[in-house]
């Protein structure tokens, strides 16, 4: 299974192509658009999300509500494109327009963004050519593709949820969610303004976001993704690039502005003895093999254990500031404050949605690699047979 995305932030539309998904998977545009709406929500979003009303169009790979096994094409129109047609037009400039006369050119790179290094790499003197693609608007299609992956996983009894566990140093109490089922956790998260499962601190997070906005500043945070129902043995110890935790970490780190990742109790392991870290193994007739704890986050030796997979990602504060930092104009080499673009004071809630979907995509890829995957019924049969084998091993 492969996923490709294309499109610029203020271009005509965004596109994703998914190749390798089995036939006979129930799929509708409504399933995908629902997840896109969640991505646009969360307290701290900026004006761009008031302009766009993301709705997906499926233009290939699905017939009468079921996948065909051929590549699936997903498209989302940028409503803001109508205001950018002359700036972001596809056709060559007419003879009476010089490149330097185009509006909204950028020569002052923003610290912490791809502007300067991207301009150097691809030779763009107008740094808009960089930021239009490096923008987090691209994650629209990561979520769209991930929504398809989530539907695929649900059909196999694998469920995912994500929630915000920290914003600007305000940390949710993990004990408030420890006894919740994945459905209960999802219900609580989707009703919360910052997608946090701890209502005690959610209001403090909202206040912190509002304070940062008033200062012209931004806030980062930490999001957690939980995958329940993944069978044991997904991934491999046999080769480094097939280790599941490595693949999931790469997926999480591929999200814009993410700078750290951990599994289970994560970096807390560095402070503990081994006897307080590793999860003891048990077996029962009802469950088969299981762990008495889940401090390793459902992963051992580069493979899933069958316990819930727990992965957290750290998102830095967005680098586009209304109180911009110092930079240098690439044309004059003079010091200036960086360019200001429309931005969010805090995109951590939205990032939790993106994180859930990129992780779901990677889990779907692994499942498709491991089992017969031309059509859903055969895949389901193979997976159930494997689950029984693992339980009785």
Q: Summarize the annotated binding site for FMN as residue ranges.
A: 133-135, 256-257, 301, 316-320, 342
- Helix/strand/coil for 122: helix
CA-to-CA distance for 146 and 72, rounded, in angstroms?
Answer: 13
CA-CA distance, 260 to 131, in Å (whole number)? Answer: 22
User: Which residues are part of a known binding site for NADP(+)?
Assistant: 39, 45
Which run of H or E residues covers position 326?
A: strand 326-328
Beta bridge partners of 247: none
| Residues 368, 372, 376, 381, CA torsion sign | negative
Instruction: Judge contact between 371 and 383, C-beta under 8 A.
Output: yes
Q: Is residue 23 a contact partner of residue 67, using CB atoms and an 8 Å limit?
A: yes
| CA nearest to 341, candidates 37, 80, 7 | 80
Binding residues: 39, 45, 133-135, 256-257, 301, 316-320, 342
The rounded distance, in Å, linking the Cα atoms of 319 and 326 is: 12
Provide the H-helix boundaries in the chain. 29-40, 48-51, 115-122, 128-134, 139-155, 182-190, 199-214, 244-253, 348-370, 376-392
DSSP 266: G
Would you say the C-alpha torsion 10, 210, 113, 6 has a positive or negative sign?
negative
CB proximity list for 349: less than 8 A, separation 6 or greater: 41, 42, 43, 44, 45, 164, 193, 194, 195, 196
């Amino acid at each position: 299974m492969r996923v490709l995305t294309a499109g610029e932030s203020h271009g005509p539309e965004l596109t994703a192509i998914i190749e390798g998904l089995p036939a006979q998977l129930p799929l509708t545009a409504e399933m995908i658009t629902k997840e896109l709406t969640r991505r646009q929500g969360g307290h701290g979003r900026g004006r761009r999300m008031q302009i766009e009303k993301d709705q997906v169009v499926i233009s290939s790979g699905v017939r009468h509500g079921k996948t065909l096994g051929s590549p699936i094409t997903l498209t989302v129109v940028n409503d803001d494109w109508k205001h950018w047609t002359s700036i972001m037009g596809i056709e060559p400039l007419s003879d009476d327009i010089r490149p330097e006369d185009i509006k909204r050119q950028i020569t002052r790179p923003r610290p912490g963004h791809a502007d300067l290094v991207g301009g150097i790499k691809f030779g763009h003197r107008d740094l808009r050519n960089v930021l239009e693609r490096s923008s987090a608007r691209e994650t629209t299609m990561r979520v769209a593709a991930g929504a398809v992956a989530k539907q695929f996983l649900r059909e196999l009894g694998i469920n995912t949820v994500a929630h915000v566990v920290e914003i600007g140093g305000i940390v949710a109490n993990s004990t408030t969610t420890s006894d919740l089922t994945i459905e209960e956790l999802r219900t609580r998260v989707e009703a919360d303004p910052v997608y946090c499962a701890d209502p005690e601190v959610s209001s403090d997070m909202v206040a912190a976001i509002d304070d940062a906005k008033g200062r012209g500043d931004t806030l980062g945070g930490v999001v957690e993704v939980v995958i329940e129902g993944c069978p044991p043995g997904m991934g491999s110890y046999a080769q480094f690039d097939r280790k599941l935790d490595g693949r999931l970490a790469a997926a999480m780190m591929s999200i814009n502005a993410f700078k750290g990742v951990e599994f289970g109790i994560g970096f807390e392991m560095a402070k503990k003895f081994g006897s307080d870290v590793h999860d003891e193994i048990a077996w029962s007739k009802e469950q088969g093999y299981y762990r008495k704890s889940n401090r390793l986050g459902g992963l051992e030796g580069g493979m899933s254990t069958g316990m819930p997979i727990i992965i957290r990602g750290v998102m830095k504060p967005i680098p586009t500031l209304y109180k911009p930092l110092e930079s240098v104009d690439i044309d004059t080499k003079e010091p200036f404050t960086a360019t200001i673009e429309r931005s969010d004071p805090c995109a951590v809630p939205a990032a939790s949605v993106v994180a859930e979907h990129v992780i779901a995509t990677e889990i779907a890829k692994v499942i498709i690699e491991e089992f017969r995957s031309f059509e859903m019924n055969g895949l389901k049969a193979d997976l159930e047979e494997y689950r029984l084998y693992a339980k009785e091993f």
